[in-house]
Amino acid sequence: MKSPNMKNKRPTLQDVADLVGVTKMTVSRFLRNPDQVSAPLQTKIAEALEDLGYIPNRAPDILSKSKSHAIGVLLPSLTNQVFAEVIRGIESVVEPAGYQTMLAHYGYSKEAEESRIATLLSYSVDGLIISESYHTERVRKMLAVAGIPVIEIMDSVSPPIEQAIGIDNEAAAYAMTEFMIKKGRRKIVYFAARMDQRTLFKIKGYETAMLDNGLTPLCLKTNSASSFTLGATFLKDALQQQPDTDGIFCTNDDLAIGALYACQKAGIKVPQDIGIAGFHGHDISRAMVPLLTTVITPREEMGRLAAEHLLSRLQGNPVSQRIIDLPFKIEAGESV
Amino acid sequence: MKSPNMKNKRPTLQDVADLVGVTKMTVSRFLRNPDQVSAPLQTKIAEALEDLGYIPNRAPDILSKSKSHAIGVLLPSLTNQVFAEVIRGIESVVEPAGYQTMLAHYGYSKEAEESRIATLLSYSVDGLIISESYHTERVRKMLAVAGIPVIEIMDSVSPPIEQAIGIDNEAAAYAMTEFMIKKGRRKIVYFAARMDQRTLFKIKGYETAMLDNGLTPLCLKTNSASSFTLGATFLKDALQQQPDTDGIFCTNDDLAIGALYACQKAGIKVPQDIGIAGFHGHDISRAMVPLLTTVITPREEMGRLAAEHLLSRLQGNPVSQRIIDLPFKIEAGESV
DNA sequence: CCATGTTTTGTTACAAGTAACATTATCATA
DNA sequence: TATGATAATGTTACTTGTAACAAAACATGG
C-alpha cells in the first residue's frame, strides 16, 4: 500500500483506491457515474467506500473550479424575526437545489459588512444575498471583482448593484398613516427603533402623510433594538410629550404589541382611546386579541424569490428584472 | 508579465506578486505579518492589493490543512423561534472568534440529517453543533471518521456522542404539571405538536406527573408544526373530548398563546375557567396580558455555551463535562 | 485472426495558497 | 575587507479531486 491512512485522517479517494487496487481516478468516476466503471469494480468500490466511511471533500473542487455550491447570505441581524423568516424563505429554495447556505450578519455596522462580505467571498460562494441598499465603495469593488451574482433584498427603491427584491417601505408607511388618518386619528406618534435605512424610509413615509394631511408628525426614536418592553417605554414617553395622542404607528409589530399590552395594563382602551398599528404582520399579530392593525410584508417570499433569482442567474440566465417591488398589504385588524 | 489576469477572474496572490515584481510567497508573508517584508515592499504590496481588489481564497488552505475556520450547525428547523434564538447564541460567540457559520436544517428527517452532515463535512467544517440525541449508525460513523469535535444541543439526558448541552425536558414538563396541579388543576390536557424527541420527553414528564398525582392524562397530538391557529384548534378538540377541562399545558408558547386567545374570543376566562401554560418563555409571553405561565428555557445560552465549548475544543482542550444540564425555570405568570 | 472501434482504466497536470528549506542581501564587527 | 549573523526573498513540494489526454483491454466483423 502506497500511503496507508495511519495518521487517522479522514480517508481520501486515494485510500479507497488503494483498498480496491485501482487508481483514484476510477473511484472518482464511480462516485459521479457508477456506470463508467465495470460491474465487478462497482461492487468492490462501493464496499470500500462504505468500509472506510469515505466523505467527499469539496476543497479541491472549490480550488480548481472556484465554485463552492454554497451561497452567502448577509443580513443585519439574526435577532429580528423578520430576518429569521427571510432565511427560512431562502433555505426553502436553496436547500432542495443542493446548495449550502453560509450565513453571516453584521449588526448594522458598515465595517462589519465589509469584513463579512470578504469572508464570504473567501469561501468562494457562488452567489450572494445581501440586504440594505447602501454599500461602501469597498464593498462595491469587492463584489465587482468577485464577479458573482448579487441580490439585494428588503428595499425596492434604491438603484441596485445588480438586482433588488423588496418592498417600498416609504409607500407602505405612507399608506398605513393615511389609513389611520381615515380612521379619524389626528395625533399619531411614530415609534422608531434601530435606525437603519428601512426605518428611515418608513419615518419619511409617515411624516409625509402627516404633513400632506395638515397634521404634525411626532417621532420617538432610539438606536437600540426593538422589543416589547421598548414599546411600553415609548408609550409612556408619548403620553408625556403629547397627552392627547390618539394613534401610535410602530416601526414593527414588537413595539406595537408592547405598546398595546402597556395600554391594557394602564386601562387605556385600544382602539377606543388610542389606535395602534404595527409593521410586518407576524403570526402573533393575526392571532391576538384585538387583532393588530399592521402592514403585512412578504418576508418569506422575499427570501424565496431572492434565492430563486439567484439560482437562475447561477444557471447562466441574465438579470430579468432589476427591481422587483413586492406588494405590501394594509391589514385593518381591530387595534385602530 | 507571467500570467496577466485577462480572464477577468478574481485576482490571485500571483497576480499581486507579478504587479509588484516579487514572488507570491512574499505577498503571502505580507498578508500574515507585514513586518516580515521590507518597508518599501510593504507599501508597494499594499498598493497592489488595494489596486487589484485582492480577496483571499480559503480553498487552498482548507485543502492543505483540512481546516476551514467554519463550524457547521445542523438544526431540525428554522421555522421555530427556539432555533432562531439558538442560532443567535451560537453566532454571538462564533463570529467574534473569527469563525464562519454554515447553517443547515433537516426538517426532522433522519435521512436528511445524514445527507446534511455529509455536506457539512464535505466543506471541512472544523466542528459541528447538532441537535436531537438519536442518530443513525451512519451518522455516528461519519462523525467518528471526520474526527472533529461535535456538540449535541437541546437535550441533556441521552448519552452524548461526545458532549451534550441542554435541558431535561421530561423533568421540566413534570415540574410544570406539578405546578398546575398545586394550583388546583385536575383535568389538565397536554397539547403536543411536531412529535420530535423533545416533545416525547415532555409528554412523558407530563404523564408521569399526572399519574403520580392520581390524575388521568389526556394528550392531543399532531405531527404538523405548531402555530397559534393550531392552539385554537386544539382548544376546541380538548373541550369536546373533555368538557370539564380546567388546565392546558402546551409543548410550546405558540400553542399556549393560540389557545389563550381562542379562550378570550370564546368568553372562557383565563385563568379562572381554564389555566394555560406554555413552554420556553419567549419574549411575548413575558409581555402579554395575562402574563403567560411557562417554562423558561435557556435557548440562547444553550447556543452560546455550545459554541464556547466547541471553540475550546478546537483550541485543543479536552471535553470538560460530557453532559451540561442547564436549569429551566417555572415562570408563574398569570395564566394558571 | 487481425483491424477497427469501444469500453475501461491509467497518467499527468492543475487549481492557490503556505510550510519548510534554500538562497541572497545587508550589516556589524573583528 | 572578510566573516558570520541576521534579515529578506526565492524555490520546491504538498494538499485532493478531476479534466484531458493516453493507453490498455475487450469486442465485433470481415
Is-contact A73 A90, C-beta < 8 A?
Answer: yes
Nearest to B91 by CA among A125, A77, A142: A77
| A175 and A228, same domain (yes or no) | yes
Cell, residue A267 = 386601562
Mean pLDDT of B71-88: 91
Query: Quick check: A85 pLDDT over 80?
Result: yes
> pLDDT class for B149, splitting at 50, 70, 90?
very high
> pLDDT class for B2, splitting at 50, 70, 90?
very low
Give the global pTM.
0.91
A142 inside domain: yes
Instruction: Tell me the CA–C1' distance in angstroms for A71 and D25.
Output: 44
Q: Coil, helix or strand for B23?
A: coil
| B156 and B191, same domain (yes or no) | no
* pLDDT the model gives residue B3: 38
| B106 and B42, same domain (yes or no) | no
Give pLDDT tens digits for A206-261.
999 999 999 999 999 999 999 999 999 999 999 999 999 999 999 999 999 999 99
Question: A196-210, B79-93, B212-226, B230-244: which has the minimum mean pLDDT?
Answer: B79-93
Neighbours of B75 (CB within 10 A): 25
B336 inside domain: no
* pLDDT the model gives residue B79: 80
| B192 and B240, same domain (yes or no) | yes
| A116 and A173, same domain (yes or no) | no
Domain count, chain B: 3
Please tell me whether the peptide bond between B56 and the residue prior to it is cis, using omega within 30 degrees of 0: no
CATH number at residue B50: 1.10.260
Mean pLDDT across chain A, nearest whole number? 94
Query: Quick check: B132 pLDDT over 90?
Result: no
Nearest to A254 by CA among A285, A227, A219, A290: A227
Nearest to B288 by CA among B323, B314, B321, B264: B264
H or E element at residue B29:
helix B24-32
Give the whole-angstrom CA distance, residue B250 versus residue B226: 10
Residue A167 backbone dihedrals phi, psi, to 5 degrees? -120, 165
H or E element at residue B276:
strand B275-280
Is-contact A202 A251, C-beta < 8 A?
Answer: yes
Nearest to B303 by CA among B144, B123, B83: B83
Q: Residue with C-alpha cell 497576480?
A: B15
Percent of chain A past pLDDT 90, that is, above it, reads 90
Give pLDDT tens digits for A289-308.
899 999 999 999 999 999 99
| B73 and B219, same domain (yes or no) | no
* pLDDT the model gives residue A8: 67
**Sheet-wide strand order for A218-221:** A218-221, A188-192, A247-250, A275-280, A293-296, A329-331
CATH number at residue B228: 3.40.50.2300
* pLDDT the model gives residue A194: 92
Question: A62-66, A159-163, A331-335, B107-111: which has the minimum mean pLDDT?
Answer: B107-111
Nucleotide nearest to B39 (CA to C1'): D8
Report the gap between the CA of B306 and the closest CA in chain A (Å): 18
Query: Quick check: B270 pLDDT over 90?
Result: yes
Query: Quick check: A149 pLDDT over 60?
Result: yes
* pLDDT the model gives residue A132: 82
Contacts of A225 in chain B (CB under 8 A): none
Dihedral (CA of B15, B18, B19, B22) sign? positive
Does the CB of A115 have a partner CB in chain B at under 8 Å? no
Query: Quick check: A2 pLDDT over 60?
Result: no
Percent of chain A past pLDDT 70, that is, above it, reads 98
DSSP of A193-228:
-S--HHHHHHHHHHHHHHHHTT---EEEE-SSPP-H
Per-residue burial over A97-130, b = 16 or more CB atoms within 10 Å of its CB, e = otherwise: eebbbbbbbbebeeebbbebbebbbbbbbbbbbb
Residue A195 backbone dihedrals phi, psi, to 5 degrees? -75, 65
A146 inside domain: yes
* pLDDT the model gives residue B48: 95
Q: Residue with C-alpha cell 397530538?
A: B221
* pLDDT the model gives residue B107: 87
Query: Quick check: A11 pLDDT over 60?
Result: yes
Query: Quick check: A5 pLDDT over 70?
Result: no
Mean pLDDT of B31-46: 94
For Cα atoms B221, B232, B290, give the angle at the middle one, nearest 5 degrees. Answer: 115
Query: Quick check: B86 pLDDT over 50?
Result: yes
Is-contact B18 B2, C-beta < 8 A?
Answer: yes
* pLDDT the model gives residue B8: 67
* pLDDT the model gives residue B273: 97
| A79 and A179, same domain (yes or no) | no
A336 inside domain: no
CB contact under 8 A, A118 and B56: yes
Does B66 contact strand D, using a CB cutoff of 7 Å? Answer: yes
Query: Quick check: B4 pLDDT over 80?
Result: no
Is-contact B199 B172, C-beta < 8 A?
Answer: no
- Output DSSP code: residue B3: S
| A200 and A84, same domain (yes or no) | no
Does the CB of B288 have a partner CB in chain A at under 8 Å? yes
Query: Quick check: A6 pLDDT over 80?
Result: no
B97 inside domain: yes
Nearest chain A alpha carbon to B263? A289
DSSP of A45-91:
HHHHHHHHT-----HHHHHHH---SEEEEEES-SSSHHHHHHHHHHH
Nucleotide nearest to A61 (CA to C1'): D17
Mean pLDDT across chain B, nearest whole number? 94
Per-residue burial over A287-314, b = 16 or more CB atoms within 10 Å of its CB, e = otherwise: bbeeebbbbbbbbbebbbbbbbbbbebb
Give pLDDT tens digits for B152-164.
999 998 899 999 9
Give the whole-angstrom CA distance, residue A164 versus residue A162: 7
A2 inside domain: no
CA distances from B256 to A312, B26, B231, B249, B262 (A): 41, 63, 6, 7, 10
> pLDDT class for A79, splitting at 50, 70, 90?
confident
Q: Residue with C-alpha cell 405561565?
A: B293
Is-contact A308 A264, C-beta < 8 A?
Answer: no
Does the CB of B101 have a partner CB in chain A at under 8 Å? yes
Query: Quick check: B223 pLDDT over 70?
Result: yes
Cell, residue B34 = 507585514
Give the whole-angstrom CA distance, residue A178 versus residue A180: 5
CB contact under 8 A, A58 and B284: no
Give pLDDT tens digits for B287-305.
898 999 999 999 999 999 9
A196 inside domain: yes
Range of the domain at B23: 13-56
* pLDDT the model gives residue B5: 43
Q: Give the residues across from A221 on adjacent strands.
A: A192
| A184 and A262, same domain (yes or no) | yes
A27 inside domain: yes
Query: Quick check: A193 pLDDT over 80?
Result: yes
Q: How many residues does chain A have?
A: 336
Strands A100-105 and A70-75: parallel
Report the gap between the CA of A59 and the closest CA in chain B (Å): 5
Torsional class of A19: left (φ above 0), alpha (ψ -120 to 50), beta (otherwise): alpha
| B120 and B228, same domain (yes or no) | no
Contacts of B70 in chain A (CB under 8 A): 102, 123
| A291 and A306, same domain (yes or no) | no
| A106 and A195, same domain (yes or no) | no
Give pLDDT tens digits for B312-321.
999 999 999 9
